[in-house]
Copies of this chain bind each other. A is one copy, B any other.
Amino acid sequence: MPSAPAHTQRRKQRAAVFKALGHPARLQIVEELADGERCVCELVDLVGLGWSAVSRHLSVLKAAGILDDEKRGLQVYYRLALPCVKSFTACLDAARRGEAVEVRRCCG
């Protein structure tokens, strides 16, 4: 096995997904998008940061494959590309509440 096996590469990509979600502002963005797509201007209001910060957070999330974007008219709309994020955060909350966390199926 060479020094950078496939494992390592895949792990890096997976870690990038977690890293992207590992920031309160980005997690909030994902939460907002769980209900449906939003344009950047709406997210700036919701998150309470400047345009540049929100834009970079969005690009991080998109680079990780968590979001998709689409330019429509004058605005850019972002939407959630990985629905399982929702169920995973639900699982985290359940675990935090001490409920029995029994995994059945996450993704078909």
Residues on A lying within 8 angstroms of B by beta carbon are: 8, 10-24, 26-28, 31, 65, 81-84, 86-96, 99-108
Verify A19–B15 contact, CB threshold 8 A: no
Separation of A36 and B106 alpha carbons in the complex (Å): 21
| 4 pairs of A and B residues whose beta carbons are closest in the complex | A19-B22, A102-B108, A87-B106, A91-B107
Given contacts A22-B19, A27-B14, contact A84 B96 (CB under 8 A): no
**Across the interface, which residues of B come within 8 angstroms of A17, CB to CB?**
22, 92
With A and B bound together, what is the CA distance between A105 and B90 in angstroms?
A: 10
Chain B's nearest CB lies how many Å from the CB of A103? 5
A103 to B84, CA, bound (A): 6
Contacting pair A107 B87 (CB below 8 A): yes
- The residues of B that contact A24 with a CB separation of less than 8 Å are 8, 11-12, 15
